[in-house]
Amino acid sequence: MVTGGAGYVGSHTTLVLLQAGYQVVVVDNCINAKPPQPPSHLPPSLERVRKLVATSTPPSLHFYHLSLQDRQQLRMVFDKVMNEVGCRVLVFSSSSTVYGPATYFPTDEDHPTGPAITNPYGRTKYFCEQVMKDVAAQDKRWSVVVLRYFNPVGAHSSGLLGDDPVTGRPVNLLPSLAHVAAGRKKVFHIFGEDWDTPDGTCIRDFMHVMDLAEGHVAALEHAHTHTGASVFNLGRGEGVSVRQMIQAFERACGCSLPCEVVCRRAGDVRRTTCSGDRAKAVLGWRPYRTLDDMCRDSWLFQVNNPHGY
């Protein structure tokens, strides 16, 4: 079961799981994704997933349009809730924000988490991690894998799947650049150029969303053969500044992009880069796609979908 499977990361992960031979049940209230459409009654993102998978293997995809907070409706999916039916394998999407302003780079999974987190999103992820670790420690039948994402970007290389926020107003870096390049947004805002970095802009560890999706398959396979709680960073381990990302996207779209420097955002940190050694050694996972791949695929999705799904 993939929760939020109609969204950006969820749809790409659903695709990779289906290609790996899994039967997938998606549960999503579509609060941040286009809702189901006739005649398939699938969200547009999942309809495209089904088309992509149908070319290689018969898809086994089921969708439930409901909220995880609706316990009665969830029982319809599970028949009963997880513990009552013996489902004790869980892969949790966490975030590098649990490290707060990291004190060393690349940052590994042993770096302290919690006290220095600078935003509510990161604190939410931190507390969810603690609950899951406690469950796995108390009941040895549980297997929990915590994936700390760094910065997923890009789109499927077909141009059919990508980052399409339901508001139509992206806040993440690459979709914002794509909207500027397409003329949907007048200017790209750089949040501060006085950071202690070589070009004055923030540095992030960007990775292709398809690499991230493949990391989920590796994590799930690990979870089925281990118990307890495991934590893995997923990232490329390379720092890319905002200015460098702008330059890479200009190469992809073939034009210069108007940019404006504005004030720093509350909660932003100077740099995030990860050590992916544990994921490589234990999961056998590593990211293969390049920065240019990320920008090319993101731009292709924008060209093919000028108004989103």
Q: Catalytic site residue 99?
A: no
> Would the CA dihedral through 97, 128, 219, 59 be positive or negative?
negative
Measured CA to CA, the distance from residue 226 to residue 89 in angstroms comes to 9
Measured CA to CA, the distance from residue 51 to residue 94 in angstroms comes to 29
- Residues 6 or more apart whose CB falls under 8 angstroms from that of 252 comprise 292, 295, 296, 298, 299
Measured CA to CA, the distance from residue 21 to residue 126 in angstroms comes to 32
Question: Do strands 203-204 and 240-241 pair parallel, antiparallel, or not at all (unpaired)?
Answer: antiparallel
Measured CA to CA, the distance from residue 273 to residue 203 in angstroms comes to 8
Give which of 9, 8, 95, 32 is closest to 269, Cα–Cα.
Answer: 95
Ramachandran area for residue 95 (φ above 0: left; ψ -120 to 50: alpha; else beta): beta
Catalytic residue among 8, 64, 104, 121: 121
> Would the CA dihedral through 92, 96, 102, 105 be positive or negative?
positive
The helix-helix angle for 44-54 and 8-19 (nearest 10°) equals 20
Identity of the amino acid at 33: A
Catalytic positions are 121
